[in-house]
Every structure is written in C-alpha cells, then in structure tokens.
Chain A
Amino acid sequence: MLSKLWILAYRDLGRNRRRTILSMVAVALGLGLLILMNGYIAGVMDESIQNNIRLNTGHLQIRASAYTEGEMSLAWPDLLRDPEVLAAHAATLPGVRGAAPVLWAGGVIATPNDSLGIQVTGIDTTSTIYAPIREALVGGEFLNPDDRNGIMIGRRLAGELGLAVGSNVSLTVVDSDGNADEGVFTVRGIFHTGIPTYDQGSVLMPLAKAQAFARTERRASAVIIMLDDNQALETVRTALRSPDLQLLSWEDMNRLFIETMQTGLAFYYILDGIVMLIVAVIIANTLLMSVFERIREMGILSALGMKGRHLTQMLLLEAACMGLAGIAIGLALGLSSVAYLTYVGIAIGDIASVAGDSIALGSTIHARFVPETFAGLSIATFIFVLLAALYPAWYASRLEPVVALRG
C-alpha cells in the first residue's frame, strides 16, 4: 500500500514539475543559507576564542587556590610561591607546548596630560608562548629579559595616550604591602593583537622587573600553559592537580566571554527561525495549491475506498520527497560554501575592531564545519517541511468523496 502511495506522491510531484522544482530550490536555498550562516558564526566564535587563548589566557592556568579571578591581588598568600618550578614541571608533560609564569598587577599609566587604569603583566620574555605577541608587534622591538625600564603596550593604548616607541611614561602599581610604587618606563614595543581589551588595557614588562616593582619577590600570579591542542587538557590538568593550586581551563577563563557571545547569537537563532518559516510557508503553499488542483482526483481516490489518512500519508510523502531532495541540494550548496569560507576565508580588514570590543578577530574570517549543527539544521528543516504539509494534508483528508461525482 505504502509503495503505491509513493508512486502516487512521486508522480504527482512530477505533474507540475516547475512548481516542485521551485519548492525544492526554496528548501535548498533556505538550508544552504542556514548552513553558511551557522558555519560562519561558528568560525567567528571559534576564531575569537582561539585568539583569546593564544594571546591572553592560554589553555590552562595554574593559580594559587586563594587567588580570585579579577582581583589581581598581590598579597603573598594569593600568589604562587615557586612559579618557575611549576612551569618547568608543566613544560615536561606530554602535549604541553609551553608554560611560563606571569604576574598581574592593577595600575595606572600616566603621561603629563593623561592617565588611564591598566593591567601590568610581567611576562617571561624568553618563553615561546609569547610568539603571538612577537608576531603582533607593529612598532619597536620585543622586550629583553633584563630590560629594567622597558615596556610594551598595545596600539590602542598608544593611540589614546599619544605614545610612540621611545616615549616615557609613568606607571604606578599598588604593591604587595599595599603601598603605591611609581616608576618611569620607556615604550620599547607596540603590538596589535586584535583583542581590543588587550590592546587597550595591557602593559607588558619583563617578569623580573614586575616582581621587583610590585615587591612579590619570585612569586607569580599564575603559570600560563599552552597545549599543542585541546585534547591533552584533561590529562595535563590531572597531572598538575594539587590541593593548594587551582587549575583553570580556557573554558573556565573564557566563560563570561563565551556567554556574552552566545547571547549575541540569539539574533542569529531568530534569523534561523525566520528562514525556516519562509521555507515552511512556501512548501505549505505549494502543497495546498496541489491539493486544490487535485480535489477531483482525491474525490475519486476516496470513492474507490481510500481513507482520509491515506490521503494524508500521500501528501506527507510528497512533502518528504520535496524536502529530502531540497535538503540534499541545500547540503551540497551549504557545505561547499562553508568549505570555501573555511579554506579561503573572507578578508574583513579592520572591520573586526569596529564590530565589537569583546570579539578578538584577525583581518580574515574563516568559517568552520560544525557537523552536528549542520545535521541538526537539516533535520529541523525536514521537520519544518513536514509540519508545513500538515495543514494541506489535513485539508485533503477531510475532502468529501461527493465532489468526485459532481465533476
């Protein structure tokens, strides 16, 4: 029985070929667009998180268990006592690309005209994990480990304060004893990472100088660990576990960032919904038109003893055929455009910095394959198509056979 319904459904689709093809194209374009949009967004999200990991947080951080995120406390109990040892140990673990101690201190940068609150970061200038900052240098040069009064700042900060390589500035930090310490420093290098908050709010200096400046002796706020890839995260974390340490993953540290981004994505979900609704309306319209055209034929089928539910099944099969064909084409369209954007990317120039302060993007955006999302979108499209067929199908099932005799 079902096989005959298939034949009826299939041939009925063939009867008005142009309309059927247009509906399939609607499904295909709809799904293709959805896949492209979602692949693009996934790419943007992923890229900005990866950038943040690379330039800012690392994959994993070791901190003293008393250290609280955001406070940048310099009190000794909040700091790591032997950061070099921890970093050296971490660097020996498989999957770890680099590990380096870092010291953070809240402070103020001042020129004769202006002052701004910033974060002073003492970095191990010899560590490989700062390769991205080296690459991001747009002026001057990278710090030497034993530079006693050199700093690097971001291009945004330089712009705001009117600083250039060689300019002198005054820095003030509140040291571990709670006293304000001031010093004069020279800008050696200017970097542009693309992460607005980082480019605007960070002052980098060699770790040893920072420790001396903030009077923390050899202590550090954290050890930043970069992995070869995310796979090693849990094993490294387990290997480093210790009661007086906390181990924060990039997910822990970027949680706020990820959440903010996801809130921003709500807009795209609405867009997804609108695209699906448009597809559904087109399908519903096509099927309803084909039901109206076939009222007589359905009357005949009904007179021959076909039940309402068979007519319903027939129309759902028609919708399923159109939907599946459209989805196949849409997948091909969507996947090939995502592939293009993944491997070639689109150059967006400096728009990224205009786009939003919290998004860390380079000048080329790449899409990303998210198979689960694409599968989900295809299934959702199929369900929408079937839902759209429900009304026409229900309408057909209620047709009275009398219409057949009435010609």
Chain B
Amino acid sequence: MDAIQINQVTKTYRVGATQTHALDHINLTIGEGEFTALVGPSGSGKTTLLQMIGCLDKPDQGTVLIKGQDVTRLNSNQRADLRRSSIGFVFQFFALVPVLTAYENVELPLLLNGMKTSERRTRVMELLDAVGLADRAHHRPDQLSGGQQQRVAIARALGPRPVLVLADEPTANLDTANGHQAMEIMQRLNQETGTAFVYATHDPRVIAFARRVVKMEDGKIIDSP
C-alpha cells in the first residue's frame, strides 16, 4: 500500500480581495520508503503541500490518504494523534523546544506516545547516536550549533518510527558542509529504517540526494516521475 495518496487537493488563501491558489487540484502518490525531493520556485506551494500531507492543515477540497486512511475527515485531536504516531517533522528553522535539552527534545514525542521509561531511554540514546550527538544529549538548543540542532530534529522526527518524515527546506539555514551532513544522515536513516522522506528544497546539491524529484509550479505538480 502507498504511504500517501493525494487526490484533487486544493487550497486557496484569501487575503482581502486577492485569492492565491496555493494548491490547485493536486494528485500525488508517495510510496513506502521513498526519498523524494519537492522542488519549485518560491511560492509554488511546497510548504502548503507538506502541511496537507502532515495533517497540520486541511485542504479546501480533495482527500489525503495516509496508509489508506482519509485524514481530511479527522478532527484536530485525531489529527494530533495521527501526527504523533505516523509523521515526523523537520523544519527549516531548527524548531527544537528551547527549554528542553537535546535528550528531552528527542524524548518528547516518545513520551507523548506513552513509551515506557526504560525503553524510551534506550531509544533516545540510539537515535542521538545515529545522528552523532550522543555526547551532546544534555545540551540545550542554544548550546548547539545550527547543524547539530537540525540533527537533533531529525532524531526527534524518527523517534516514533513514523511512516513518513516531512522536511521543509531542512538545509536552508545551514552551511554547505552541515547541509551535506544532514542530508547524508537522512539518506542513511531512510535506507536503514525504510521510513519515507519528503523534503522541499531549492538547492540543486540537496536535490541530488533524492531518488525521486517532484516539481511544482503555481500550485500544480508539473512533473512527478
């Protein structure tokens, strides 16, 4: 079964008298374990599409199916449940909870999922190890570099073993070396865990990591191999 199936999804923003068709009857399928880049010019609708897939927002029309389940019918609590169990997020700005340490940030979604303490501890350390930050476990975000913060965010996203990780311009605020490292880690974890990754980017070097590239323009998908 496909991880994600998007049918005729439309999203229109209205600001005053102007309407923006951020998403215009989009159809897209993402298989399990994919490593896909979402590319397109600024304003083409990449972020909006990731929000629909990630159950952060509802489309005006159309359906989004995650593992066959239509998530557009869910209420906000049910969507929160689904996000918690099935979807990981990596944001452009390293969106860690500032008052929690790296360890606690990675732990948070596991805790929300009700994982047992002993199991949780092992899992958090395993994840921090996977992103090469086991020795930074008790640092607060402001004591970590941007690249390290982004790696913590990747570890956090993978904690609950989601179907899919969504990353919105994960390297946009990193220098080339750190961006490269983050992409390598995502790629490796994709191969090791079989979790699908969809990431939006402008950067050709980052696009190069993808096994599939979906192109968007003006709220439409113009190329999806």
List chain A positions with a Cβ less than 8 A from chain B.
Answer: 1, 4, 7-8, 11-12, 14-15, 296-297, 300-308, 400-402, 404-407
Contacts and interface: CB of A to CB of B under 8 A. Distances in A.
Interface string B106-119: 00110111100000
What are the 4 tightest A-B residue pairs by CB atom distance, in nearest-first order?
Answer: A305-B84, A11-B99, A305-B83, A401-B56
B76 A308 contact: yes
Interface string B83-105: 11100010111011111100010
A305 B99 contact: no
Contact of B56 (A1, A4, A14, A404): A404
B57 A402 contact: yes
Contacts of B51: 402, 405
B181 interface: no
Interface residues of B, number: 33
B76 A303 contact: no
Chain A contact residues, majority secondary structure: helix
B47 interface: yes
A290 to B, nearest CB: 12
B19 interface: no
A1 B114 CA distance: 8
15 contacts: A1-B111, A7-B100, A11-B99, A304-B84, A305-B85, A307-B76, A307-B80, A308-B76, A400-B56, A402-B56, A405-B47, A405-B51, A405-B56, A405-B91, A407-B92
Interface of B: 47, 50-51, 54, 56-57, 76-77, 80-85, 89, 91-93, 95-100, 104, 108-109, 111-114, 156, 168
A308 B84 CA distance: 13
B83 A4 contact: no
A11 B168 contact: no
Nearest to A297: B97
Nearest to B173: A407
B83 A304 contact: yes
Contacts of A404: 56, 89, 91, 95
A13 to B, nearest CB: 9
Contacts of A402: 51, 56-57
Chain B CB count within 10 A is highest, among A11, A15, A405, for: A405
A307 B77 contact: yes
Contacts, number: 81
A327 B83 CA distance: 39
A305 B81 contact: yes
Contacts of A12: 99
A176 B95 CA distance: 95
A105 to B, nearest CB: 80
A84 to B, nearest CB: 81
A307 B84 CA distance: 10
Nearest to A304: B109
A304 B99 contact: no
A300 to B, nearest CB: 5
A11 B100 contact: yes
Chain A CB count within 10 A is highest, among B47, B50, B82, B98, for: B98
Nearest to A5: B111
A304 B76 CA distance: 13
A7 B104 contact: yes
Chain B CB count within 10 A is highest, among A1, A11, A305, for: A305
A300 B95 contact: yes
Contact of B99 (A8, A296, A401): A8
Contacts of B108: 4, 301, 304
B83 A297 contact: no
A348 B113 CA distance: 65
B72 to A, nearest CB: 15
Contacts of B109: 304-305
Contacts of A305: 80-85, 109, 112-113
